[in-house]
Structure 1
Amino acid sequence: MQRFRRLVAAIALAATATTTVAACGGGDNGDSSDAKVLKLWHYESENSAMGVGWNRAIELFKSEHPGVEVRFERKAFEQIQQNAGMIINSSEGPDIMEYNKGNATAGLLSSQGLLADLSSEADKRGWAGKLSPSLQTTARYSDKGVMGSGKWFGVPNYGEYVTVYYNKDLFQSNGVKVPTTMAEMTAAMDTFVGKGITPLGMAGAEYPAGQLFYQLALSKGDRQFVDNYQLYKNPVDFKADPLKYGADTFAQWVQKGYVAKNSASLKAEDMGTAFIGGKVPMIVSGSWWYGRFKTEMKANWDTFLFPGNTLQAGSSGNLWVVPENSKAKSLAYDFIDITLRPEIQDLIGNNGGVPVAADASKISDPKDRKLIEDFNTVSKSDGLAFYPDWPVPGYYDVLVSGFQGLINGSKSPDQVLDTIAKPYADGVKEITGK
């Protein structure tokens, strides 16, 4: 969410870290033809697939642009999420930045005139040819900040989706089979509960709770629901299915012990480290964790798509955006271009990421190939349903607060739906005037 991601493996661990490397020449698209500094911010951990790929991209950028200094800063996810508008509107902001895609984030900043229009660069550099139409949805925004049409304001170079991570050792030792239907999923969780094991790791203080709610709702939803909820095609009734089903089922899962009530105060990092440590058999979260689990997890593990769903939370990955105030736009465009090269795409894929333009035959690890194949399965069937916090600005915090209350028992499903319905309606009205 705002990537409810986001999302976001290892980000909570990463205190702001700054490194400087020598890099590159080139002009600045008229803003400053003698630009000698490129300020680059992102929030991926160093050992994540994107972190590995982008470190290599910086090296290539350095070799191809002698004479320019690259000032890279790793920022915390929440730091950028909460202060992006203020940051990029100041002289201290970056020239290029990783930012969350969606109406409430990149869309909002584009509608405020804070992001550079990348449309001419997308055409000139062939970015559109490297991204499928579904992946371009999050790159383009209308003048009102609604994704899916209009000008290019960001460029993704990886994809992402929500899946189920499971500990194969815990499944085997407890006689649990990988579920392929929702009925089998609940039966598996009943087995774990019967043995005193909480089956599903959770984090109520950040995006994971919203992701689970949305996955449950999507199990009863269709593309029309997604278009209504995300793109405002028709009004959304929060007291009817599929949203009602999502909230009611989430509450039932808490009551049955599938989700621990004390997880209401936990953050995504807590959930991830619990899974790494073998304390929970499953988590429902994004592909951005994959590289970290591959590096840090000792137990045998794998993934499966949320059972029975044809729709999955997911989209392109986060975007490279260029602030309108950037003094080094041309350099920023050069860096984006490098991240879409086959070398970087293959590197992302071989480190547990989901590249948008990799050669699958170059992906050596079977798990990595499966990750990409599952994403392709979802993407090709028009199954990417974006994220629950995307529709309106500020909705991430609304959803976090609402589902914390559902986990700790302070709110009923109907109360949560009331809590999240009004900010949604108000936000849609502010954007569309309806």
Structure 2
Amino acid sequence: MLKLRRVRTAATAVAVAALLAALAACGSGGPDTDEPAAGPRTLKLWHYESADGAMGKAWAEAVKEFEATHPGVKVAFEEKAFEQIRQSAGMILNSDQAPDVMEYNKGNATAGLLSKQGLLTDLSDEAAKRGWDKLLSPSLQTTAKYDDRGVMGGDRWFGVPDYAEYVMVYYNKDAFKKKGVKVPTTFDEFTAAMDEFVEAGTTPLAVGGAEYPAQQILYQLALSKAQRPWVDAFQLYKGKVDFRGPELKYAAETFADWVRKGYIGKDSAGVKAEDMGQSFIAGKYPMVVTGSWWFGRFATDIKDFEWGTFLWPGNTMHAGSSGNIWVVPANARNKDLAYDFIDITMKKDVQNLLGNAGGIPVAADPAAITDARSKELIENFTELSGADGLAFYPDWPAPGYYDVLVSGVQNLINGTKKPDQVLDELAGPYQENLADLGD
């Protein structure tokens, strides 16, 4: 287990306590069993997708189908913030207030850690019985299955993804046209495009340094120098990682250089992901590097300009994977209902809706995806997946690594630490976790 010497702030402690108190009003959880609870039944569902996003729309339809096919059963849906679940999941799931099914982040540091701690239900039998193991390709199953150490790619199912995702560059077509900037197809063209915007007095990239977006830029830069063996070493511990090697050293130095050049705003260290996305929607920045989970939101909310996407130029490896996964807590009261709900999210009608709303379905009918922009999104993912180009996400290798990376990129943005110092800070917790795993 990763040993991080971090002090939880009073604000975080208060927030977690308040969340637990609020949950107590929802009724107590049940025993660690798959047996149905007696009396009137309610499926307690948590996820953190917005109502107007692709997954939010698809899962709202799944709730309708679930209630229609389960007379007398109601779904009690509670929308949670990503950070809220990330910070308090272990505490909540280890209590009697656990939901029946919830969306959770995949990877060693999150779902892997909870599986290792015994907080998640082993879904292997359900995956075989319901055919989830046939619907999902081997690459998508990697993030659903974990070994006894909590490392992904193992032999037991602890989650089920019903969508996929990857990181790309979204761009404002009107801004590009106004400045006479062409859409880049090489890395040199990418930096040249950013230079043109800087010369015109515009910061090219909307960046959220307080959460995941900035660290994904750092990772994309590392991946520009990486191939599959490096990714497998970093993510799956199939080899040793040199934090002063060409991949991460280039990433940290280039990221710092991008701040100096004005590609990344020096005021972005405290910006959250939501505010970053809203600034792009408002047309304040010509580009934003983020995931396909924003696609449906942009399609709905951007009204004042034309926009498009392109893959990070020059990379053969890209941040991406299956989407977040449905997990069933070990303390869930209604596990049988949770399995039924997950199954509905995998059905063709829900998957087709997800695809047409701007998501990347894992089991849709390709002919049913009629939206042109959504087709392009899905085709790009198919290209990456088919070329073994999905490299997961930088915070996955070790528990607590998300916060380590946030701090690291914030130091690069603020200029408070040099790249080599940041790399040393990234190396320490990673190597501690490696030692704890016995590798």
> TM-score, normalising length from structure 1?
0.92
> Are the equivalent residues in 2 in contact too, given 1:35–1:328 (CA < 8 A)?
no
Q: How much has 1:30 moved relative to structure 2?
A: 2.2
| Match in the other structure for 2:400 | 394
Q: Tell me how far apart the structure 2 counterparts of residues 166 and 200 of structure 1 sit (CA, whole Å).
A: 9
- Aligned residue identity for 2:323: G
Residue 331 of structure 2 is matched in structure 1 by 325
- Give the Cα separation in 2 of the matches to 1:403 and 1:36: 46
Aligned equivalent of 1:344? 350
Aligned equivalents of 1:302, 1:410: Cα separation in 2? 35
SS at match of 2:404: helix
Aligned residue number for residue 260 of structure 2: 255
Any idea what the Cα deviations from partners look like across 1:249-277, whole Å, max 9, x if unmatched?
A: 11111111111101111111111111001
Aligned counterparts of 1:45 and 1:167: Cα–Cα separation in 2: 22
1:409 equivalenced with 2:394 (yes/no)? no
Deviation at 1:31, TM superposition (A): 5.3
One of 362, 365, 373 as aligned partner of 2:368? 362
Equivalences, count? 409
Q: Give SS of 2:245's match.
A: coil
Equivalent position to 1:125, from 122, 125, 130: 130
- The runs of 4+ residues in structure 1 deviating greater than 2 Å are 28-35
Contact 1:239–1:414 (8 Å) recurs in 2: yes
- How far off is 1:90 after superposition? 1.3
> What do the CA deviations read for 1:372-391 (whole angstroms, capped 9, x no partner)?
01111101100000000000
Which of 297, 303, 313 is the equivalent residue of 1:307?
313
Match 2:116 to one of 111, 119, 125: 111
* Whole-Å separation in 2 of the counterparts to 1:209 and 1:76: 19
User: Is the 1:391–1:428 Cα contact (8 Å) retained in structure 2?
Assistant: no
Aligned to 1:30, the other structure's residue is in SS state coil
Letter in 2 for 1:85: G
1:353 alignment counterpart: 359
CA deviations 1:189-216 (Å, max 9, x no partner) are: 1111111111111111111110000000
Q: What is the CA RMSD across the aligned residues, in angstroms?
A: 1.3
How far does residue 148 in structure 1 lie from its aligned partner after superposition?
0.4
Unaligned segments of structure 2, at least 5 residues: 1-18, 24-32
* C-alpha contact (below 8 Å) 2:360/2:378 kept by paired residues: yes
Alignment pair present for 1:383 and 2:389: yes
Query: Contact (CA 8 Å) 2:35, 2:334: kept in 1 or not?
Result: no
Look up the match of 1:4: none
Cα deviations across residues 329-351 of structure 1 (Å, max 9, x unaligned)? 11000000000000000000010
Deviations 1:408-433 (A, max 9, x none): 11111111111111011111211x21
Which residue of structure 2 lines up, in the alignment, with residue 202 of structure 1?
A: 207
For 1:100 and 1:371, the matched residues in 2 are separated by 22
Partner of 1:418: 424
Deviation at 1:35, TM superposition (A): 6.6
Q: How does 1:280-299 map to 2 (within 5 A)?
A: 280-298=285-303, 299=305
Match of residue 22 from structure 1: none
Shift of 1:33: 6.0
Q: How does 1:15-414 map to 2 (within 5 A)?
A: 29-30=34-35, 32=37, 36-298=41-303, 299-414=305-420
How far did residue 360 of structure 1 move?
A: 1.8
Secondary structure of 1:108's match?
Answer: helix
TM-score using structure 2 length: 0.91
- The letter of the residue matching 1:57 is A
Gaps of 5+ in 1: 1-15, 19-27
Partners of 1:361 and 1:196 lie apart in 2 by 45
**Structure 1 residue 29, shift from structure 2 partner:** 3.3
